[in-house]
Amino acid sequence: MKAIMSRSIGGPETLVLEEVDDPVAAAGQILIRVKASGVNFPDTLIIEDKYQFKPKRPFSPGAEFSGVVEAVGRDVCSFQLGDRVMGFSRWGSMAQKIAVDASRCVMIPDNMPFDEASAFILTFGTSYYALKEKGGLRSGETLLVLGAAGGVGLAAIEIGKAMGARVVAAVSTTEKATLVREHGADRAVIYPTAPFDASSRRDAARLLKEACAPDGAHVVCDVVGGDYSDAALRAIAWDGRFLVVGFAAGIPHIPLNLPLLKSCQIIGVFWGLWLDQSEQHLSRSAAELLKWYKGGKLRPCISARFSLAEAGDAIAQLAARKALGKVVVNVD
Ligand SMILES: NC(=O)c1ccc[n+]([C@@H]2O[C@H](COP(=O)([O-])OP(=O)(O)OC[C@H]3O[C@@H](n4cnc5c(N)ncnc54)[C@H](OP(=O)(O)O)[C@@H]3O)[C@@H](O)[C@H]2O)c1
């Protein structure tokens, strides 16, 4: 099979398209002919050895995918040959085939195309876990989403609306502001570009506070980190929940007087490890997400498509902060 491979530590330009051996489905696994692979920010980190997990080289990046079951390993009774599935694997889906634990896959509904399915399970799954399981977002509350026009951010807007929240979406450009409004944000805020000096730090906090008035944000979904986290924490409501989801702009350092002043919680969110706690976590959350999808509440937004040979360019687009919604690699 063909696969995009990382053979040396480095950026997307180091990835190469190669002919490699087909993987084999072990016990509990299924072998999938990959149709499409959704690009996620962790793909930019894993090829540079900056991610929590460091696979042995050579490896193929790609953490969420859709495809067709081509073989079934021992002890698997939940899938059959020919089933359309989507799933999650920490790496390996920027390839024509992937062998993955059956418990990490769910069936694709008939009306869902493969490209949308490849941009769904990790992206919407992370925001679902953040807002529902960790944030306890309630109807009528104000949700502030940073990096709101990215994959996880746009999903957080739509899930927030499905849960009845007022959504304030913070982004860096007018183009991204238009996109977040189209996906249901009640209000779009354009924040200054980090790194912040004292004046832009104050401006960013003021903009977010004004947008989240009168109470402030009951829940903050932070996929950006860096200087943006401090500004967002200053806009949180009394007793609010600040969800630490990602660090696209770097790992922030937070003065601990801020959570004391708002009596708020800072909550870590690690979707991949949550899945490891119970096989029910993926199946139950996917069932509710697919119900919302079928009801038209969730609309995966794919703004750019690349071939397998161009997978490095797809990852580069995300790393350069240029992606709107999701970028997908069409494998087959
Ligand atoms: N905790 C978990 O379980 C989990 C699961 C999946 C992903 N994540 C993390 O969540 C974050 C978002 O992932 P994603 O796949 O949605 O990424 P994405 O589509 O690239 O979105 C990230 C957003 O961050 C903003 N950003 C600010 N500074 C940036 C910079 N220097 N470089 C790139 N983007 C920057 C951009 O929005 P603006 O330009 O509007 O600021 C961008 O749209 C990542 O940090 C990822 O590692 C965490």
Average pLDDT over residues 256-273: 97
Q: How far lies 215's CA from each of 23, 186, 254, in Å?
A: 53, 16, 21
pLDDT band of residue 317 (cuts 50, 70, 90) is very high
Which percentage of the chain shows pLDDT scores above 90? 99
Q: What is the pLDDT of residue 107?
A: 98
Q: Ligand 1: distance of its center to the CA of 170 in Å?
A: 12
Q: What is the pLDDT of residue 272?
A: 96
pLDDT band of residue 7 (cuts 50, 70, 90) is very high
Q: Ligand 1: distance of its center to the CA of 238 in Å?
A: 26
Q: What is the pLDDT of residue 90?
A: 95
Average pLDDT over residues 222-235: 98
Q: Ligand 1: distance of its center to the CA of 225 in Å?
A: 9
Q: What is the pLDDT of residue 303?
A: 96
The string of pLDDT tens digits covering residues 139-153 is 999 999 999 999 999
Ligand 1 lined by 317 (C-beta under 6 Å): no
Ligand 1 lined by 318 (C-beta under 6 Å): yes
pLDDT band of residue 20 (cuts 50, 70, 90) is very high
Q: What is the pLDDT of residue 125?
A: 98
Domains of the chain plus CATH, in order, are 2-120+300-330 (3.90.180.10), 123-271 (3.40.50.720)
pLDDT band of residue 185 (cuts 50, 70, 90) is very high
Average pLDDT over residues 39-44: 98
The string of pLDDT tens digits covering residues 49-71 is 999 999 999 999 999 999 999 99
pLDDT band of residue 178 (cuts 50, 70, 90) is very high
Q: What is the pLDDT of residue 27?
A: 98
Count of alpha carbons within 13 angstroms of residue 78, beta-carbon side: 14
Closest to 293 measured CA to CA, from 158, 160, 186: 158
Ligand 1 lined by 40 (C-beta under 6 Å): yes
Closest to 170 measured CA to CA, from 121, 110, 232: 232
Q: What is the pTM of this model?
A: 0.97
Strand, coil or helix: 8: coil
The string of pLDDT tens digits covering residues 237-258 is 999 999 999 999 999 999 999 9
Q: What is the pLDDT of residue 313?
A: 98
Average pLDDT over residues 273-288: 96
Beta-carbon contacts of 278 under 8 Å, excluding residues fewer than 6 positions away, are none
Ligand 1 lined by 124 (C-beta under 6 Å): no
Ligand 1 probe mutation, 43, 90, 146, 152, most atoms within 8 A of CB: 152
Average pLDDT over residues 201-228: 97
Q: What is the pLDDT of residue 261?
A: 97
Q: What is the pLDDT of residue 114?
A: 98
Mean pLDDT of the chain: 97
Strand, coil or helix: 67: strand
Beta-carbon contacts of 129 under 8 Å, excluding residues fewer than 6 positions away, are 269, 271, 274, 281, 285
Pairing status of strand 217-222 against strand 236-244: parallel
Q: Which residues pair with 106 in a beta bridge?
A: 86
Q: How many CB atoms lie within 10 A of CB 192?
A: 17
Q: What is the pLDDT of residue 87?
A: 98
Ligand 1 lined by 157 (C-beta under 6 Å): no
Q: What does the DSSP 8-state code read for residue 59? A: B
Q: Ligand 1: distance of its center to the CA of 190 in Å?
A: 16
CB 108 within 8 A of CB 36: no
What sign does the CA torsion over 275, 278, 283, 289 have? negative
